[in-house]
Every structure is written in structure tokens, then in C-alpha cells.
A and B are shown apart, each in its own frame.
Chain A
């Protein structure tokens, strides 16, 4: 191994170690150091993956889907590299590989499951071309960072041209995703929910993307919607429609976590149960399931894997503090937030709620999307008390005011959590956007330890 490569790996691991000791997230920094010292590091390490590389893209559900897929593959005895913390830009991807390298500078992995930010695909794909791309969905997200959704679609289109042999595991219910796959002409594996789900507390007023056919511009028609623009669509003009579904979820119950049956394209079925909440998580499980099935795995132990799946990354993460059951979840764009609201409503128990909104670079400086979220629905969610927090707490307070929902604004997250826990509520939901996640999670973790 070259000295530079060795140095790259050592320095990168050291940087990560120091950051962890300091209680910070160091993966991005670690990746940057590695590629600065040895520019071919990612290309070389990725080429050592023995069987296949999966890349997970899409606006929402990347981290959950990707981590779940890694867990599914591991349950089949496979060795997997995964950027499990959700650091999904080039440097985060690099560090996932570098931190997995051994002393000789090699990795020993059957699969890599790598989530990649859509805008970063063009920077990542020159280093390796994935065998599979999972495309979860496309929603409006951080318009000041990514621009309009059409720009994201264009970026993914370009990225896919760099990986002509890649198979796409695509959400059949999302017209924006399937139109992209249709136009790119890559081989596709589809998953979806063929029939309406009566249990799903969907909103009828939410913003729906891509209502006009991506292929011909005509207004699309829908047999039904699951949420946002996900549903059974067709174009009355050019005939474009939801494709046949290879892996279909039905018999869905949302009453005790998630229960549903997947029918595979060979007509065999699997009954699944997860303690996760939120209708949208059915899509995440379906995506991971379809991706693993595409490699021929039986997934016999899938229910055990789902039961043990606690990624501890602030996605539906539970904490127990002084008898209060705290549920932390990330919500960073309208579609994600609307689904979070549904998840809160699926839980009929009385609860308190904290919403934390920041506007740092990684969140997007533009927080106008708060008005594209149907916060009005919280009025019927059995919520006793609401505190809004974070840098843009006042904007969030205003959003609630114009929904006729009372709330208090406390800018400091720590103070907000303390105030709420002083109430000793049975259930506390904390919904945060991206840069608020790490600090809030750390605070909750500490409180949980202290009170034990």
C-alpha cells in the first residue's frame, strides 16, 4: 500500500476518534482529510466490495431505508459497509469506507449500502458506479439549497447516465421517481402500495408535487392518493401511468406499530411487523426489502431484524426520562413533516409536543416550507401542550397562531425540554429539523442516563 493511502486512512481515523471523544460528529471531517491526502481513496476502496454496491437516494427515508437494508443483509450473514449516521455528501461517503478499512488499507465487505444526497450523486459517482440505486421518493426540500424539484430530477438524470448498468429500485407510487426511471431507461424493480389504506390518516389539503405529467405536460389524474403525490396516477393524454408493482404491501394495520403483508412478484407472501410508527415507514421497509430480494435473499428472519432495529439516530428514537416516554423524530420538509403529523395522530394517547426549527445551512435558510405543512391537523391529535423552539421558534409560533393552535416559544432547546419535562407528561413527542437533531438527541441521551 502506498504511504499516502496509509497516511490518509490513519489521519482520517484519528480525526474521527478525536471528534467522537469531543462529543462531535466527525465523519465529514474524516472523509475530507482522507481524500485530500489520497484522492483515489474512495475509488480504490469501493472497488473492493465483493458483491454489490447499493446507493440510496430520494428526499425522505434515505437513512432509515439504507440502515434497514444493511441490517437485512447482515441478517443473511453478509458483511456490509454503511454510512449509518446519514452523512451523505461526498465526505461522509468517503469516511464510511475509510473507517471500515483494516490496517493494511483494505476493506472486507460483501455489500456497501450508501445513502447519497441527490445533489452529491454527481460528485460521488465518478469514484464508483452503484449496482443498485434505491429511489425512495422526490419531494420539495430546502429550495434555497437544492433549487426547485425539477433541478434535483435533472441532477439524478445526469448521475444515472454515469451508471448505465445500475438497476433502480423505485417507489412505483411516486410519479416523479417513476417518470425519471422511465426517461433514463434503466432496468427497474418496483415496490408500492397498490390499494388505498383505510387506516392511513392522510391529509386532503397537503401540497402535491408534480401534478403535471413529466413526459407530456398534461394534468395527471389519480385513482387515489396515499399522501402527498404518492398514489395511483395516470396521464389521460400520453398514457403514462403507475407501473406494475413487483413488491406490493397490503393488509396494512397501523394500530400497533406497523403490520402488513408483502406480495412478491412470484406471488409468494411475507407478513411483517415493526414497532415503527408512521405510514411512510411502510415504504422504507418495502424499499429495503425489495432491494435485498433483488439479490436473491430469502429474508427469513426479517421480523426479528425489524424488532431489533434501533438505529439510534433520531429517527423515531425512543427515550425514557423520569417516566416520560419521549419520541424524537427528524422532520425537515413538508412531506416528511406531514407524515410525522400522521404518525403522531396514529398514537391516540394524550401527549405533549416540542417542535424545533433551525435555519442553518444544512437545514436551508429558507423556512417558508413551514407554511406548506398541514400543522392544522395537530388540533385533533390529543395534544395538551406545545412548545416551539430553535432559531426560528418565532416563525413556528406564527405558523401555529395562524392554525388557531396555542403554543409557547422558548428559543433554547435545552430550556424547552426542561420546561416540558417539569410537567411530567406521559408522552412527549419532539420533532426537529436537521441541525437541531444532534444537539437535541445528545441532550435527551444525557437526561436518560442522569435519571436512571
Chain B
């Protein structure tokens, strides 16, 4: 089996070790004999979403996100079609904000991709720190680090998980992230996937099932090292 991962604008959206997520997807696929290749798209590149199985949208600085925003109108329709056809998307931090209809920074409103019914408003303080959430997708807690000025309101969508420690989508400390079809949006970096192998495998499985149109069970890997790093955070914040 094989997978193609599209990494959108890595030159701009590459804060917080986003490369670790790509590396994690590729390695965990390869360790199971699945060939995963990565296509990087730079600003102004045309993107054929039909040849992608996973799309990764990372985080950037506010200045860099503005540069990306100008580009979004060009890809919005194709991206929307990909999402509605259950294309797998992992959007982190700034990328998560871009999924929504807009990001309001003071008087300025940056239009987003409008892929998911959510929006973001800039808050007073940045929300920074280690975070643990519980998702109903799998039993292992999801741990990471959040650092965002925006508060994201997800309307009636399903969140990725419930906040156990940390902030999450807003100051309310209730829910974190979003799950919409096969789109996962979250503020968690750390990077997200290496310490949360179950989430990585969930993304891989969804992508394979869509591509090969059949149920897929991924082979178990030895995740001792991953669990140690995940547990360390849980125990420290407990």
C-alpha cells in the first residue's frame, strides 16, 4: 500500500516542529511496509487534491499567515471538494484557524478557507502551556503544547477532545480542537503526533480506508518510547 502526504506551504507554516508530524506519519507507515511519500507545496504552486491522501496544514507567525491567506482563494474550492469527499486533513494551530470562515484580529478580519463551520477571534492573552485532552477516538490521552492568541469557536461541530489540563479552543478550558468528517484541527503541537501514536495511526488508517475503499487494521507497533513521553506529561501535570 502507499500514501501521498501533501504538506502545504512548509516555508511559511513550519513553526513548532511541524516537520515532526510529517516524519511521524512517514515512519509509522514505513514501519508497517506502507510507502508514504511527501509532496511539498509552496505558495503559488497548483495543488491537485485528487492525488493526495493526507493534507497537513501547519502553523505560522501572524505575518506569515497573512501571506498564506492571500493564496487561499485560489485553492478553496478544490480543498472543499477534497474535504467533502472525506479527504484526510490534519491542521495544527495556525492551520486549524485557517480551516474556519475567518480570523478576527482587532479590526482586521482575515478570511479563512471556510472548510469547517468555525471561526477564530484574537483574545487578550496568549494561551500557553502543556495540555492534556481526552478524546473518545481512543483511550490514550492526547498530550501536547499549546501557544495561541486566537480563541476558536466551533459552533455545533464535534471537538477533538475534552480538556483535562490546559486551555483548549477558548479560555473556557472545556473542549479542544475539531473533528469534521476526516478533518482534524487542533491547537496542540509538541509536535502532536510522535507523543500521540494512536492519533497518528488514526490518521493513517482513515487515509488508507478512503484510498483503498475497505476496512483497514494497522499492525501494532512497539510504542514504549512514545508512551513514556506521553505518560511523563500526564504524570507531571496530574
Contacts and interface: CB of A to CB of B under 8 A. Distances in A.
Contacts of A399: 20, 194
B174 interface: no
A278 B147 CA distance: 33
A349 interface: no
Interface size class of B (residues with CB under 8 A): 35 or more
A336 to B, nearest CB: 15
B11 interface: yes
A133 to B, nearest CB: 23
B19 A394 contact: no
A270 B45 CA distance: 47
A397 B17 contact: no
Nearest to A366: B145
Instruction: Tell me whether chain B's interface is mostly helix, strand or loop, or mixed.
Output: mixed
Interface in B214-234: 225-226, 228-229, 232
Nearest to A211: B11
Contact of B147 (A144, A150, A394, A401): A144
A398 B226 contact: yes
A212 B12 CA distance: 8
Contact of A395 (B11, B14, B27, B229): B229
B64 interface: yes
Interface in B42-91: 42-43, 61-64, 67
Given A144-B145, A212-B64, A212-B67, A365 B130 contact: yes
A371 B191 contact: yes
Given A143-B147, A365-B145, A372 B225 contact: no
A399 B27 CA distance: 12
Given A212-B67, A217-B67, A368 B226 contact: no
Interface in A363-379: 365-372
Interface of A: 140, 143-144, 147-150, 207-208, 211-212, 217, 219, 365-372, 392, 394-395, 397-399, 401-402, 409
Given A212-B12, A366-B189, 11 more contacts: A148-B62, A150-B61, A211-B12, A219-B43, A365-B128, A368-B17, A368-B190, A370-B20, A371-B19, A394-B232, A397-B229
21 contacts: A143-B15, A143-B16, A150-B61, A150-B63, A208-B11, A212-B67, A217-B67, A219-B11, A219-B42, A365-B128, A365-B145, A366-B128, A368-B16, A370-B17, A372-B14, A372-B17, A394-B228, A394-B229, A397-B225, A397-B228, A402-B23
